[in-house]
Every structure is written in C-alpha cells, then in structure tokens.
Amino acid sequence: MTKIAFLGTGLMGEPMARNLLKAGFGLTVWNRTQDKALPLGAAGARIAPAPQDAVRGAGIVVTMLSDGEAVSDLLFGRGCAAAMAAGTLVIDMSSIRPREARDHAGRLAAAGIGHLDAPVSGGTRGAEAADLAIMVGGDPADFARAEPVLRAMGRPVLVGPAGAGQLSKLANQAIVAITIGAVAEATLLVRRAGADPRLFRQALEGGFADSIILRQHGERMETGDFAPGGRASIQLKDLDNILDEARALGIALPLVSALRDRFHRLVHDMGHGELDHAALFLELLDRNGLPAGT
C-alpha cells in the first residue's frame, strides 16, 4: 500500500491522519510542535523529527497547514520538495489562495512531482467522522491516484484544474461566514423576544432556513460553547483571501466585505481569534451593548 507522509497534525490534521491509519495506510507524520503528533505515534504512525525525513520514500505527501506562506516555506524554503522523488504526489489540503496553489503546482511539476489542491470543509466534527467535503483541483490522473486516500477522510470531488479546489473553498467560506452571521442575528432576535432558541431550531428543521450551521453553531451560540472547531482567525484569513480574489476578478462582494469587517473586529479588537468562528455571536452581542450570556 502507498506510503503517506502527513505534514501538519493540528486541530484538523490530527483526526484526518488518524482516519488514514484506520484505513490501513502506512503513515509518517510531522508537526512543527512535535507533542501534537505523539498521539498518532501511539496509534501506529511513525513520527518524523523533520519534515524532510517524513517525505523521503513517500508516494503521497499530504499537507495541512495554516496558510499559503507556511505551505510554500515547507515545500521550497525547508527543502521538502527537494527531498521528494520524481513521481511523488503532493496533496495540499490547507486553505490557501488559488494563485498560490497554481504556483506550487507549476514549481512541483518542473521537478516531476504531481500536485492537487484539496481544501476541506466540515470542521473538526467532519474530520473526526471522515465526512469532510473535499474540493479538489488538478489533473484527473492525479485525482484518480489520490482518490482512495481522500475517501478515507471524506467526500472528494474534482472540480477543475490547479487552483479550482482553493477557489471552491473560498466560495464555501463565503457561504459559511454569511450563514454564521445570519444565524447569530436570528438567535439573538429569538432569544431577546423570549422564545426558546432550541425549539426555534427544531421548528425550522427541514425548511429552507435549516442548515448544519443553524443546528451546530446555533446550539453553540445558545450555550456559549465556543471551543474551536474552526478558528475565527482562520475564517478571517479566508475572508481576506476571498476579497483578494474578488479584486483580481474585478467584482464586488458586499456581504463578504461586511462579514470580513465583523470577523476582523472579533479577532483583532476583541481578541477572540482562537475561539470558534461561531463566536461571531459575541461580536454581535458586543455591538448591541449586551454582555455575553444575554
């Protein structure tokens, strides 16, 4: 079976790597903070002391990092690409800019290395359940080769050439941010009027307004549980990337712009970047002069 190197075993990467182990793949893992990779060692993965050690001899290299700069530094600055044999396939599951993904694909292709950009949606719950939405950009032959690996982590769909996966993820994040904003406002409206938010969500089940975000994040807002599944700081980074891409395309996205400003306030003015992105509810409470728990 194909040997896999998994680079980046943080909040999302750890359960994704664990599902690859469950599927029977031989796995070597590396993480900048090595302690975060230790549980995977107990589950059967080999822990590499350096990323270059992880990728040597691997047929497929999966990266799950914070942003495009981190991916570029790992591949080209720290020499991981140089340590890979020709014919290796890199699957970048980080959320980065489409133009960065295209650049990485081109640079790797020059060294005989394949590349797929395959960002995910579904948060830590989806990662743990191996039910992530996986949006893939790249060559169809590379996708066919990677599909068994990706299916161990979720539901992959090849949406187009290099960069198309990242563009789809940006569109996904636009929908997520705008829906979180709508759920926050609906939850506050219902709660201030004296209705039960839980029963409100129950009443909407199966209707046009129902969604995973309403059910999961509406409950978070009701209970005040903002332990991170998808960090607000990452949501802000994605919104900045969406607007960067929109400017390049010459289009205006007014809802995304409004939500970007609210997440910026939540992360930078209120200092809640490490909370779940459902904590946008706290920004709404503060905007209304209401204390948390209102």
Does this chain's domain 3-160 share its CATH topology with 167-287?
no
CATH 3.30.160.110 correct for 3-160: no
Per-domain boundaries in the chain: 3-160, 167-287
Pick the CATH number of 167-287 from 1.20.5.440, 2.40.50.70, 1.10.1040.10, 1.10.3720.10: 1.10.1040.10
Question: Cα-Cα-Cα-Cα dihedral of 91, 107, 170, 285, to 10°?
Answer: 90
| Residue 218, pLDDT score | 97
Q: Which residues pair with 26 in a beta bridge?
A: 3
Q: Dihedral of CA 287/242/273/187: which sign?
A: positive
| Residue 193, pLDDT score | 96
| Residue 47, pLDDT score | 96
Distance in angstroms (rounded) separating the CA atoms of residues 260 and 249: 18
One digit per residue, the tens of pLDDT, for the chain of length 294 reads 679 999 999 989 999 999 999 999 999 999 998 888 889 999 999 999 999 999 999 999 999 998 999 999 999 999 999 999 999 999 999 989 999 999 999 999 999 999 999 999 988 889 999 999 999 999 999 999 999 999 999 999 999 999 999 999 999 999 999 999 999 999 999 999 999 999 999 999 999 999 999 999 999 999 999 999 889 999 999 999 999 999 999 999 999 999 999 999 999 999 999 999 999 999 999 999 999 876
Distance in angstroms (rounded) separating the CA atoms of residues 210 and 201: 8
| Residue 294, pLDDT score | 67
pLDDT tens per residue across span 32-53: 988 888 899 999 999 999 999 9
For tokens 């060294």, what's the residue?
111
Structure tokens at 87: 């014919």
Q: Of the listed 3, 22, 169, 237, which one is catalytic? A: 169
Question: Cα-Cα-Cα-Cα dihedral of 23, 166, 82, 112, to 10°?
Answer: 90
Q: CB-based contacts of 189: which residues, under 8 Å, 6+ apart?
A: none
| Residue 1, pLDDT score | 67
Please say whether the beta carbons of 62 and 5 come within 8 A: yes
| Residue 229, pLDDT score | 85
The answer to whether 22 is a known catalytic residue is no
Q: CB-based contacts of 248: which residues, under 8 Å, 6+ apart?
A: 99
pLDDT tens per residue across span 105-145: 999 999 999 999 999 998 888 999 999 999 999 999 999 99
